[in-house]
Amino acid sequence: MSAPSSGGASRDGYGKGLLRIASDPRVVVLEADLGKSTKSCHFRTEFPDRTFSMGIAEQNMMLVAAGMASSGKIPFASTFAIFTERAFEQVRNGIARPEITVHICGSHGGIHTGTDGSSAQSIEDLAIYRTIPGMAVITPSDDLSAEELTVQLVNHDGATYMRTARNKTPRIYNEESVAQLRIGKGSLIKEGEDVCIISCGVMVIEALNAAEILAAEGISASVVDMHTLKPLDSELIGQQIESCGCLVTAEDHSVIGGLGGAVSEYLATNVSAPLEMVGVRDTFGQSGSSSDLMRTMGLTVDDIVQAALRSISRK
Amino acid sequence: MRNGGMSLDLQALHDLARRCRVNIVRMTHAANSGHPGGSLSAIDLLAALYGTRMKIDPNDPNWYDRDRFIMSKGHASPAVYSILHEIGYLSESDLMSFRELGSVCQGHVDMKWTDGVDFSAGSLGMGLSFGLGCALAARMDDSERNVWVMLGDGEIQEGEVWEAFMAADFHALGNLNVIIDRNRIQNDDFVHLQMEVGDVAAKLSSFGWSVKEIDGHSMKEIVDALQWAETHNSGPAAIVANTVKGKGVSFMENNPSFHGKAPNDEELALALEELG
C-alpha cells in the first residue's frame, strides 16, 4: 500500500470525526478545559448547543455523560488520556457497570506526547480500560483511521475508550483503505512469512519502517495495525502465527497489560509461539522531544528490528 | 402517577412511610445484612416524593419522559425497594430476596437490575453528576421532566459532589433538585467525628444553589419543600433535611452501629412492635 507521506495527528482525526457524526442530533460532546487539545473544539465551534463545558473536573464529567446517555444522548467525553484515569472508578462504576454507552477519548497518549513530561504521558491507559468488563479499547494509528473509527463509534453499543496521540505521524491509510477498517478487526497492512509485527497507535508507522529494513536483509515481515485492543482480533493473530511462526508487538505504552500483554494472554491460552515485546518497560518518561524520548525508552524502528530478529531466532 | 405523585394527603403519607419502615427492617433482617439506619432516616422524604411529586408510570417503567429519581446514597436501597413495592414495581417475594443471588433487589440500587431504578449506585459521590446529565438531556429535549437526587451528608465529603454542585449552578439547571439526608452518622461513626461537613445550607448557597432547610421527619415541611423545589426553576434547588438515623425504631435511632447492620430475630420483633 502506498502511504501518503503527510497527515495530521490522530487527535485531529477525532475532531473531524465528531463533525461528521454531528448530523445525528443525539451526539453531544463534553469537555474538561482541554477542547483545544483533544480537538473537540471544532465541534464546539459548529454546535455550541451540544457542547458542554465541565471545567477541570473529570470525575463529574464522566457521570454527567452517563446521565445524558441514560436519557437518550450519545456522549463523547474527552480530555487527556492521563486525566481520564483520574475518573477511572467513575468509568468503571458509573458507565461500564450499568452498561451505559459513553465514548471516552483520551488524547496525548503515550511517551510520544513529549515535552510536557511524564505527568502527561499516559503509559497505562490501554491496560486499565482493558480490564473493565464490556469496554472496547481503541488506539488509531493516524488521523484518517481516528476519524473513521470515531464515526463508527456512533453506532457502537457499549462503553468505549479511544486513545489519540498529540503529535503528527505519517499516514498509514488513504481515503479508500481507511473505509475498510472495522472496530474489533485488526488491519493487516503488509503480509509476510517470517515474522508478524503487531503494532498500534504511533508505532504502526515504525513497524512498517522496520519491515522495510528487514526486507533489505531478506526477511519478510507481516505488519498488523491492531487499532482495537479489545475485543482483540484473535483470529488474525492465529492466522499470523500459522503463516509467520513468531511475533513482535510494538506499542507506545507499558508492555504490562497493553498490546503486548493482550497478545501474551492469547498465546498463553491458545498456541505457543515466540513473542518479543517493544514497549515501555515499567518506567516513567520525562521531558524531551518525541524522537529523543522514543529513542531513550526503546521505542524506535531499530528496537522493532532487533526484536524481530530475536523472535525469529527463537522459532 | 403520570400527572405527579399519588396525590396522597399527610395521613396517607404517614401510613405509606410506616409500611415502608416495616419492610425496611423485614428485608434487612431476611438478608441478614444491609443498611437499615440510612433507609429509615430517608423514608419520610421518599414517601413524600413518590406520594406527591414523581411523574412515573408503573405500567411503563421506561417511559421516556418520566421524572428521574437518583438515589446516590445507594446503600439505602431498602428505602427505595420498599417504596417501589408500595407502588407496584416489586413484589413481596422480590423484597424478601434482597441481596440474594439473582435478586432484582441488589445490595445497592442498580438500574440494570430493577425497573423503577434510574441509577446504579453503590460508590458514593456519583449520583448528583448523573442527575446533572439527566437534567441537561431533559433541557435539550425541551421536556418538563424533573430530576431528583438524594445525597447522604457523609457522602458530600466526596470531592466529585462539589464538582457537580458547581456545574449545576454554572449550567443553571432549574429542573435539578437535590435532597440531602442530613442524619449526621456515616459508616464508622458520627459525621462530626469523621469529617464534619458543617453548615451545608450555607455552603450550597455559596455555590449558587437555592436552599431550604427542613425537619426531614415533618411530613408537612417535606411536602411543602418538595413543591417549592419543583416549582423553583431559575436554578438548582436543594433541600437540607435534618433527619435521625434509624428513625422510628428506638434502639436504631441515632445509633452508628445500625448504619450497616441488620436486626436479629429479637430486634426484628421489637422493631415491628414499635412500628405497629
What would the pLDDT profile of B68-88 be if each residue is shown by its tens digit? 999 999 999 999 999 999 999
Question: Tens of pLDDT along B139-169?
Answer: 999 999 999 999 999 999 999 999 999 999 9
Average pLDDT taken over every residue of chain A: 96
Confidence of residue B6 (pLDDT cuts 50, 70, 90): confident
B242 touches chain A (CB under 8 A): no
Q: Hey, are the CB atoms on B163 and A66 less than 8 Å from each other?
A: no
Say which of A31, A46, A58, A147 is annotated catalytic.
A58
A184-313 has the same fold as A10-163: yes
Please name each of the domains of chain B with its CATH number: 10-275 (3.40.50.970)
Flag whether pLDDT at A2 surpasses 70. Answer: no
Q: Hey, are the CB atoms on A60 and B163 less than 8 Å from each other?
A: yes
Dihedral over Cα of B138, B236, B132, B177: its sign: negative
Q: Hey, are the CB atoms on B140 and A73 less than 8 Å from each other?
A: yes
What CA–CA distance (Å, rounded) separates A6 from B68?
50
Q: Hey, are the CB atoms on A52 and B129 less than 8 Å from each other?
A: no
Pick from A57, A65, A89: which is nearest to B133 by CB? A65
CATH number of A10-163: 3.40.50.970
Half-sphere exposure of B197 (CA within 13 A, CB side): 26
Does the domain formed by A184-313 have CATH 3.40.50.2000?
A: no
Using alpha carbons only, how large is chain A's radius of gyration in Å? 19
Q: Hey, are the CB atoms on A72 and B141 less than 8 Å from each other?
A: yes
Q: First CA to last CA across chain A, in angstroms?
A: 29
Could you identify the residue written with the cell 425497594?
Answer: B81
Q: Hey, are the CB atoms on B133 and A70 less than 8 Å from each other?
A: yes
Question: Chain B residue closest to A95 (CA)?
Answer: B120
Confidence of residue A4 (pLDDT cuts 50, 70, 90): very low
Alpha helices, H only, B53-182: 77-86, 92-96, 127-140, 159-170
Across the range A223-233, mean pLDDT stands at 98
Alpha helices, H only, chain B: 10-31, 36-52, 77-86, 92-96, 127-140, 159-170, 191-194, 200-206, 219-231, 265-275
Pick from B64, B129, B166: which is nearest to A63 by CB? B129
A217 is catalytic: no
Across the range B60-69, mean pLDDT stands at 96
B139 touches chain A (CB under 8 A): no
Pick from B112, B133, B170: which is nearest to A67 by CB? B133
Domain positions in chain A: 10-163, 184-313
Across the range B10-20, mean pLDDT stands at 97
Q: Enumerate the residues of chain B whose CB falls inside 8 A of the CB of residue A73.
A: 137, 140
Which B residues 53-82 touch A at CB under 8 Å?
A: 64, 68
Q: Hey, are the CB atoms on A73 and B167 less than 8 Å from each other?
A: no
- pLDDT at site B253: 98
Pick from B126, B136, B138: which is nearest to A94 by CB? B126
* Chain A residues in contact with chain B using a Cβ-Cβ cutoff of 8 Å: 28, 49-50, 52-55, 57, 59-73, 75, 89-90, 93-94, 97-99
Using alpha carbons only, how large is chain B's radius of gyration in Å? 17
What is the pTM (predicted TM-score) of this model? Answer: 0.96
